[in-house]
Structure 1
Amino acid sequence: MVQGCENPLIDPLPRRAPRVSYRYAEVASTLDEPGTLALFGFAADAPASADPRYLQVALEGFDAPAPLELWQVDAPVSCGRDGALHWSSGGGWLFAAIELDEREHGDAASTAKLAYEQLHHFVAARGAQHVLRVWNYLGAINHGEGDAERYKHFCDGRAAGMGDFFVEGFPAATAIGHHGDPHRLQVYLLACDQGGSRVENPRQVSAWRYPRQYGRTPPSFARAMLLPALDALAISGTAAVVGHASAHHDDLDAQLDETLTNLEAVLASADMAAGFDTHSPLKAYVRHSTDAQHVRDFLKRRLPGVPVLLLHGDICRSELLVEIDGWRYA
């Protein structure tokens, strides 16, 4: 039973972007703050909460303790559960998340298919039907060779489950491998009752046009999404990819340089000023824990003052050592 559906009427004024920030705080008190749309804890020992707005993400942070990630909107927020799915909404914005165990649904492809079918069904019944940003976290993402790789199976299942979910065009997205239970799939999204503007990177082939060597089903995402009021850019997972090929195998510094070049190219494509600032929270996913301090030092030097959450995660291509996503506010 879906609880607390908001009025689907669309406000003609552009929706101000949710405010995304990192916070060292208590889960309960943060959830009590006005306008809290979603809250994320990182690490296996992150505090638990039954509140539908809270998600304990299956990624370990390299900071101890890791900060919480907070999304806030300028409106009252309602929330609820619908089977395995939990959600919150307010001010025209919708957060929805689902967590599934592959052992209950067959394999990576069938579990991804079910996750996207359920998210599609739920979002289609809401007023906020424009999916702008999606995050996907799955275990053992690089296990398997060729078309048997789990990430490729995930892409197959995602495409099978989405149907006409993204008929307007693909959202910005991230897909990262976690180091927790290998059967655990987490997918969550941000949607709005107004559409955004998709942004591509001229240095890269659009992901959905990747050649066959990357799997039967190409990844389904835009490089970034400019939110309805043009006041924020949601940036997809970005790595050292030029054209469609991975660059600088086994060279962490060169991959970091290339990734920052790609991030700047995305900002330019969105007609945003160059650079990131103290209000531009980023996540850096680092494959090898031994590289974490080096990545931290590199980003502090190149992006001084920018809040960066360092997480232990595997990139969707085994040769890539780091990936960065996040937000850039106008």
Structure 2
Amino acid sequence: MTFKYLPDHSHQANVAILPLEVLCRSAGYSEYWIDGAEVSLLKTDSGGEMTSQNHLAVIYNSSESNIETVTKQAYEQAFQSSKANRCTHLIRTWNYLHDINGSDNGLERYQSFCVARHEMLEKFEQLTTPNPAATAIGSHNGENVFVFLFAKQAGHVIENKRQVSAWEYPKKYAPKQPRFSRAMKYGPVLMCSGTASVVGHETLHLNDVLAQLDECLKNVSVLLSEDENKYPIQSGLYRFYLREVEHAGLVEAKIIDFGIENYIVLHGDVCRENLLIECEVVFQ
């Protein structure tokens, strides 16, 4: 299976079009997911599906404004497809939600997303299964994009000993806690979730984007220390989400100084308003 992320306007069935502006990136940045098997592509009105012998990727696009409605629609389609393809282990999700810090019916839209996601995970009997690595980021153009990666074999969850597991967060963050792992090890691939300046469950370094970036990288290093392969932290494929466009130059300079060679920085809102930056990373 080849799975490719490019923040452009291609309409190929096997490309997820991210609803985020590119602020900067390393030369030649691209991202592929490959398992070496023949891939079948299915184009749908809402996106597309890619299946191989052992994997399923589902892309769901919608301009639906109600965050609970679109979340339920996306997760319903994804889990129905996983059941039909007998590919039942959800190992990675990406959730790009318009106006993630806005309000819907008295709740922050991210909180509404957490409630709807929990309801769908309960419906499909996923609450007792390992939580996938996951990202939830806000877009600005009215579009919602969901990407799901399923496998026939389960991955191995890795948690961060500096942080409270997301599903054990205090209820002040959302009526239903987020359901994701800090990282998922799947074969030789280590997929780190959206990682921000959080220790325990509290945000650190308010209003200081570079200090928050440092804390992100500390949290990535802890996840690497729990993995048997001990990848160098600079060797990963990094995707950064940055709240304020004017911080892009400072952030890119810090990334380069740290020695990260493969990266992209996208303009996106992090799930908490006091978080200025988040990163996700893949190691192999």
> What is the Cα deviation at residue 290 of structure 1?
0.4
> What is the Cα deviation at residue 166 of structure 1?
5.2
- How does 1:43-62 map onto structure 2 within 5 Å? 46-49=8-11, 51-62=12-23
**Partner of 1:102: helix, strand, or coil?**
coil
> What is the Cα deviation at residue 135 of structure 1?
0.3
One-letter amino acid of the counterpart of residue 234, structure 1:
M
* Alignment match, 1:246: 203
Aligned with residue 205 of structure 1, among 164, 184, 204 = 164
One-letter amino acid of the counterpart of residue 216, structure 2:
T
Q: Deviation per CA, 1:247-295: give whole Å up to 9, x if none.
A: 11011121111111111111112334153244x2110111100001111
> What is the Cα deviation at residue 198 of structure 1?
0.5
For 1:145 and 1:113, locate their aligned partners in 2 and report how far apart those are by CA, in whole Å: 15
Provide the aligned length of Structure 1 versus Structure 2. Answer: 281
For 1:66 and 1:165, locate their aligned partners in 2 and report how far apart those are by CA, in whole Å: 38
* Alignment match, 2:90: 131
> What is the Cα deviation at residue 145 of structure 1?
9.1
> What is the Cα deviation at residue 313 of structure 1?
0.6
- Between structure 1 and structure 2, the one with the greater Rg is 1
> Once superposed, which parts of structure 1, at least 4 consecutive aligned residues long, lie more than 6 Å away?
none
For 2:9 and 2:107, locate their aligned partners in 1 and report how far apart those are by CA, in whole Å: 36
Q: Deviation per CA, 1:101-123: give whole Å up to 9, x if none.
A: 224xxx21122122111211111
For 1:274 and 1:120, locate their aligned partners in 2 and report how far apart those are by CA, in whole Å: 32
> What is the Cα deviation at residue 91 of structure 1?
4.1
* Alignment match, 1:38: 3
Aligned with residue 195 of structure 1, among 121, 139, 154 = 154
> What is the Cα deviation at residue 146 of structure 1?
11
For 1:166 and 1:66, locate their aligned partners in 2 and report how far apart those are by CA, in whole Å: 39
Q: Which has the higher contact order (CA 8 A, sep 6+)?
A: 2
Q: Does 1:323 align with 2:278?
A: yes
For 1:286 and 1:221, locate their aligned partners in 2 and report how far apart those are by CA, in whole Å: 21
Aligned with residue 150 of structure 1, among 109, 123, 129 = 109
One-letter amino acid of the counterpart of residue 101, structure 1:
S
Q: Does 1:89 align with 2:46?
A: no
**Partner of 2:239: helix, strand, or coil?**
strand
Structure 1 unaligned blocks of 5 or more: 1-34
Q: Deviation per CA, 1:16-75: give whole Å up to 9, x if none.
A: xxxxxxxxxxxxxxxxxxx5x222221xxx2322x3212211111113898443222212
**Partner of 2:269: helix, strand, or coil?**
coil
Identity level (%): 31
Asked whether the 8 Å contact 1:92–1:127 carries over to 2, the reply is no
Q: Deviation per CA, 1:222-252: give whole Å up to 9, x if none.
A: 000000x2x1101100000000001110111
**Partner of 1:297: helix, strand, or coil?**
helix
The TM-score normalised by the length of structure 1 is: 0.80
For 1:187 and 1:294, locate their aligned partners in 2 and report how far apart those are by CA, in whole Å: 30
One-letter amino acid of the counterpart of residue 41, structure 2:
C
Q: Deviation per CA, 1:100-159: give whole Å up to 9, x if none.
A: 2224xxx21122122111211111111322110000001111113996111101111111
Q: Does 1:186 align with 2:145?
A: yes
Asked whether the 8 Å contact 2:50–2:58 carries over to 1, the reply is yes
Aligned with residue 306 of structure 1, among 248, 252, 261 = 261
Q: CA 1:266–1:38 in structure 2 vs 1: closer, same or farther (change >3 Å)?
A: same
* Alignment match, 2:62: 100
> What is the Cα deviation at residue 221 of structure 1?
0.2
